A and B are shown apart, each in its own frame.
Chain A
Amino acid sequence: GAVVSQHPSRVICKSGTSVKIECRSLDFQATTMFWYRQFPKQSLMLMATSNEGSKATYEQGVEKDKFLINHASLTLSTLTVTSAHPEDSSFYICSASAASYEQYFGPGTRLTVT
């Protein structure tokens, strides 16, 4: 199957700083990428959908100025958590789709804000 990578896999940052998470589709071109957040013992919650070259579409309740998404190429999307706070600590997972019936998920990034 297709491979999606995320970097970093784990990050610890201080409150008030910004963190960037990269999502790459390694062996296919992703027309659409999705960003999810998963709290412990909770389901994946979609944060936003991004198409290459377009502005991301955010789900209700997700602050677009806090979670900046850039999808500059068909193989790379980035999520920047700005002015992070402890309540932003979570597992962030991206997925990528090439207009097939499947989304391919990355391994996730665990963010801890101290």
Chain B
Amino acid sequence: QKEVEQDPGPLSVPEGAIVSLNCTYSNSAFQYFMWYRQYSRKGPELLMYTYSSGNKEDGRFTAQVDKSSKYISLFIRDSQPSDSATYLCAVSTQGGSEKLVFGKGTKLTVNP
């Protein structure tokens, strides 16, 4: 069983749609959870960082963590064509500045 599972998609939605991206992880030692956005041929960019169960909101983005089921989600409201990218979840046992374990990434296309 992989440490982090993420459906690679691809996922295609119309502009304005609500997007739901999800990951599961297997090790309860992971306590820090991140979502990165990666445009083609570029390095990942941090979108959201959480370390507790519950929701965290930042603009159109909401990160949700359920430690009891080892499930993390990223919701994008009012999706825009500029949101088209690959979204990677990442987990860590010691914090976002330490060793990260990434999911495969979900490729999202938002169609105008």
Residues in chain A within 8 A of chain B (CB atoms): 4, 6, 32, 34, 41-46, 49, 91, 93, 95, 97-103, 105-108, 110
Can you report 10 residue pairs joining A to B where beta carbons are below 8 Å apart? Answer: A32-B98, A34-B100, A41-B8, A43-B6, A43-B103, A43-B104, A46-B99, A46-B101, A101-B96, A108-B42
Q: Which of B40-76 contact A (CB under 8 A)?
A: 41-46, 49
* A103 to B4 Cα, complex, angstroms: 19
Contact B41 A99 (CB under 8 A): no
- B interface bracket (residues with beta carbon within 8 Å of A): 20 to 34
In the complex, number of A-B residue pairs with CB atoms less than 8 Å apart:
58
B42 (CB) vs chain A CBs: closest residue: A107
Residues in chain B within 8 A of chain A (CB atoms): 4, 6, 8, 32, 36, 41-46, 49, 88, 95-105
Given A105-B43, A105-B45, A108-B41, residue A32 in contact with residue B97 (CB < 8 A): yes
Find chain A residues with CB under 8 A from B99 CB. 34, 46, 49
Q: Measured between C-beta atoms, what is the minimum distance from B46 to chain A in Å?
A: 6
* A4 to B99 Cα, complex, angstroms: 17
A9 (CB) vs chain B CBs: closest residue: B41
> Could you say which of B100, B103, B105 contacts A103, with CB atoms under 8 Å apart?
B100
Find chain B residues with CB under 8 A from A34 CB. 99-100
* A49 to B99 Cα, complex, angstroms: 8
Contact B97 A100 (CB under 8 A): yes
Q: Measured between C-beta atoms, what is the minimum distance from A49 to chain B in Å?
A: 6
Find chain B residues with CB under 8 A from A46 CB. 99-101
Q: Which 7 A-B pairs give the minimum distances between C-beta atoms?
A: A105-B43, A97-B97, A43-B102, A101-B96, A43-B104, A44-B102, A105-B44
Contact A106 B43 (CB under 8 A): yes
Contact B97 A102 (CB under 8 A): yes
Find chain A residues with CB under 8 A from B36 CB. 105
